[in-house]
Structure 1
């Protein structure tokens, strides 16, 4: 078959969705960045702050699944618009005097709005790129998360240090509304949608078969470990730098950029290497499955050495490199799932995948908070928490390495449901 050309305007939409994910992760990071001032003002114990970090994910998965089925029928353009508007409006209550309960509720609402974001954005961008050209735009989309932190952290930290953490939330609300206005004017639906002829050639596979396939399970397991690291980074990295290692809020703001700079590099390299390997004839088992799983295992092993390092700078380096390597898995999982999922079911499958692996966001911050509060000392608590993170990463990476076989999944699934194999 002749490869499909990339439609005109695809890279403009990619850039807008990159900005969408940038705002998305700036919203996520603000609580961790302002963690010490928030804990001080609201007099929160570590377990309470861990609960605050986890609260963002209370409705995250449920919302992701519901909206995932909605985007099978409604244009992603309008769904993205509504989601971004929810994010923006959820920030403004924090501008004034706020209680812990109000902050908690707003984070739950924000999480409900952001839960479907990544999967809907991926589904939207796949309407602009054929399968063999999707890994790089997926990597660029993932960079929105890194740059959301890289660009937002210095700006938000300046607001926190010189004004108040309350105004940092307000600034994010204003930026969110700016993206809504831009998307309303320039956002479009991709032309690579399923036609009647495509639907006839792409028969429906029962969701039970899709969701119990080894590649789907492997993707969820591997991404769960990576997201455990990411959610700890969002909630606990800056407090660790300040309270665990003794840096100031101002210095911690600059240091907090490092994991995201390194992670951005890893994600872009993964996307580029994956497409190069596929262009040279490597199967997607190697160019996607192995390429995403191995860095996760290596990162976990590096992170496991954190408790045995004494120097503050080396501890930061170990934490940055260990957790940053896990980002490879985010680039390869959605393309792997799209390899064997019919287009009419892709939005829901990618959303369910996102809903499952982001459950780590509920567990990880709360576990860290509990470990810190009940440890013999503050630093000991952090070390134990990050060691747990390392174990989760290694186990999830090994499961990914064992289960990710996207190149043979389609044929196997079609045989199970009694359909002829596709070439």
Structure 2
């Protein structure tokens, strides 16, 4: 996940020099940010069904090779179209990454021990940015944004070699007999269950903020607030540092609560939803803040709070999805909430381009982000009931199964 998010952040980090070199409008840059997600969801679903049957070790290896190879065309002179196509290919390779990785680590930890490992896995995103931004920004400032892409390609190949040597499957894999005995839930019922829908909606709101952080945050710091590229690179780390602390705290608190017998409705559902609402409220206050430093602080805290939902949703889905369907269920969840990555950068680009002054457009774009987060958090509070979801699904399936066995 460190490599995965370093790959994601590079376009946002180099947004200003890329825009100048390729003479892009705000709408074109928004399209570039969104293009990463064009095949993201489709590949996530396809690979999610694949990992129900294929070892995650090999799937992650192939995905990482795709990430690495997709970076190298940008080392030389490149057109907007080529950059767009490479980002689409990269998104197709990275779409299934978190879902497959979560499915892989759940083969090592039972249900009541999964929240903290999920939090640590999620922190690959933060550390990917924290570690990559200073190095990539140094390359961008002192050499060229082209070489930043090349460096990421080399790192991706190095990780693939290490994973080939060290990666293994966990022991918590059901036998064929156990898998056959486990009740299956029709996907139509599984994917329309209220907790699954709640996870998708809540994380959609969080990912709206993340996709703006990946694409527009550094550009706003430079073009909207007037900081230099060097300073903006350092500032760009702050949301991820704060988010890392939030995610790790959420994972530790949630796991402590579940091991003490607190229902997962509270220890996961409520604990993940409330920070979304609080973060959205903070973003709505941005127009009331005049100081650039305080605006950055509000963006850091408001966007960082939404990280809690990433920790609790995969374990909630794993609570009620049968093991034989878990990989696909988590992948489909990821495919749906990451659709925010297509919409959010485009919305911000359109708002900035249509505003009387760019700074007004940025503020409106972040206020829209805040409203989305509040709505997503409120729906999460309403819908997330993982502690009773499996029983509801199995009870709903039982009459249908009895009806099939009843003679006409």
Please state which band the TM-score falls in when normalised by the shorter chain.
over 0.9
**Partner residue, 2:226:** 246
TM-superposed deviation, 1:279:
1.8
What's the TM-score, normalizing by structure 1?
Answer: 0.94
TM-superposed deviation, 1:280:
1.9
Which stretches of structure 1, 4 residues or more, deviate above 3 A after TM superposition? none
Q: Does 1:405 align with 2:385?
A: yes
Matches within 5 A, 1:46-57: 46-57=26-37
TM-superposed deviation, 1:419:
7.5
**Partner residue, 1:233:** 213
TM-superposed deviation, 1:196:
3.1
**Partner residue, 2:162:** 182
Q: Hey, what's the Cα distance between the residues in 1 that align with 2:399 and 2:265?
A: 23
TM-superposed deviation, 1:200:
4.3
**Partner residue, 2:239:** 259
Matches within 5 A, 1:212-223: 212-223=192-203
TM-superposed deviation, 1:201:
4.3
What do the CA deviations read for 1:39-79 (whole angstroms, capped 9, x no partner)? 00000000000000000000000000000000001110000
**Partner residue, 1:146:** 126
SS at match of 2:127: helix
CA RMSD of aligned residues (A): 0.9
Q: Hey, what's the Cα distance between the residues in 1 that align with 2:174 and 2:7?
A: 33
Q: Hey, what's the Cα distance between the residues in 2 that align with 1:58 and 1:275?
A: 35
Q: Hey, what's the Cα distance between the residues in 2 that align with 1:94 and 1:106?
A: 8
Q: Does 1:394 align with 2:371?
A: no
Q: Does 1:290 align with 2:235?
A: no
Q: Hey, what's the Cα distance between the residues in 2 that align with 1:419 and 1:158?
A: 63
SS at match of 2:31: helix
Q: Hey, what's the Cα distance between the residues in 2 that align with 1:70 and 1:397?
A: 31
What do the CA deviations read for 1:314-367 (whole angstroms, capped 9, x no partner)? 000000000100000000000000000000000000000000000000000000
Q: Hey, what's the Cα distance between the residues in 1 that align with 2:257 and 2:121?
A: 20
Q: Hey, what's the Cα distance between the residues in 1 that align with 2:220 and 2:354?
A: 16
**Partner residue, 2:403:** none
TM-superposed deviation, 1:194:
1.5
What's the TM-score, normalizing by structure 2?
Answer: 0.97
SS at match of 1:418: helix
Matches within 5 A, 1:336-355: 336-355=316-335
Q: Does 1:203 align with 2:177?
A: no
Q: Hey, what's the Cα distance between the residues in 2 that align with 1:312 and 1:173?
A: 35
**Partner residue, 2:68:** 88
TM-superposed deviation, 1:191:
1.2
TM-superposed deviation, 1:198:
2.6
Q: Hey, what's the Cα distance between the residues in 2 that align with 1:200 and 1:297?
A: 42
**Partner residue, 2:257:** 277
TM-superposed deviation, 1:278:
1.1
**Partner residue, 1:104:** 84
**Partner residue, 2:405:** none
TM-superposed deviation, 1:199:
2.1
Moved more, 243-252 or 411-420: 411-420
**Partner residue, 1:316:** 296
TM-superposed deviation, 1:197:
3.9
Q: Hey, what's the Cα distance between the residues in 2 that align with 1:26 and 1:200?
A: 40
Q: 1:123 aligns with which of 103, 111, 119?
A: 103
Q: Does 1:170 align with 2:150?
A: yes
SS at match of 2:173: coil
Q: Hey, what's the Cα distance between the residues in 2 that align with 1:72 and 1:280?
A: 32
TM-superposed deviation, 1:202:
2.1
What do the CA deviations read for 1:71-115 (whole angstroms, capped 9, x no partner)? 001110000000000000000000000000000000000000000
**Partner residue, 2:140:** 160
